[in-house]
Structure 1
Amino acid sequence: MKFSLIAVLVVSLAIGSESVSLVKRDAPAELEKIGKYFQDLVDNLKNVEGPEMANKAKAYFEESKAQFQPMVEKLQEQLKPLSNIEEHIKPLAASVQAQVAPLSNMVQTQVLDMLKFMNEKTKAILPPK
């Protein structure tokens, strides 16, 4: 029994070490492929001329602008009614403020009266100095 356990352990270690060495051998090939890809990319970028790239970018932006311009105009038309919403809100806000101001003043006076009352009661409870 012990011999078979030791044999299984030795075989599994051998297989494991062999699989690790296979992985190590594959890694340089993958790194070489990645390095070649980036080298080709750099070479292609060096071959592209600056003015040519600028012209392509300008054409792309003009094409994008042409596609988005109708959407922008439609959105502006939809937002026009909302541009004068401030004119409608100002009178409403003034009305609400006029209605709330007396209530807030009343609450403020009641809170001050309550604090004054608590102060007087606290002084009455404390021993004289």
Structure 2
Amino acid sequence: MKFSLVAALVVALAIGSQAASLVKREAAELPPEVEKIASYFQDLIQNLKALETPDLANRAKTYLEESRAQLMPVVQKLQEQLTPLSSNIEEQVEPLAASVRAQITPYTNLMQSQIEDMLKFVVDQTKAILPPQ
């Protein structure tokens, strides 16, 4: 984050210094839109220079703490409202899941017994093919 902030500052400084030198050299030839953009970047550079990195970090930390303090009651209230809803959904889904399990159980048991029979057959055939030891 610090790197991206420094990179943005360097880019803004470069653009602003180019805009400032362009305004100084060719002030008579530039349209008013370019002058507005140049003054915007000059103001941006001045504002960025005025900000000190530790001060900015402190402001960001304070902002995050204030935001967290504001959002925590909302999150807790939302959690209190969602808890009965989730338990209600769980109560409705549990019988459905039990019904599905009850319907699938005979098929899984049948499949398991068929696989066991097939493995037994393969083992018996393998024993019959192998020479006695």
Query: When the two structures are superposed, what TM-score results if normalisation uses the length of structure 2?
Result: 0.47
Greater RCO, CA 8 A, separation 6+: 2
Larger radius of gyration: 1
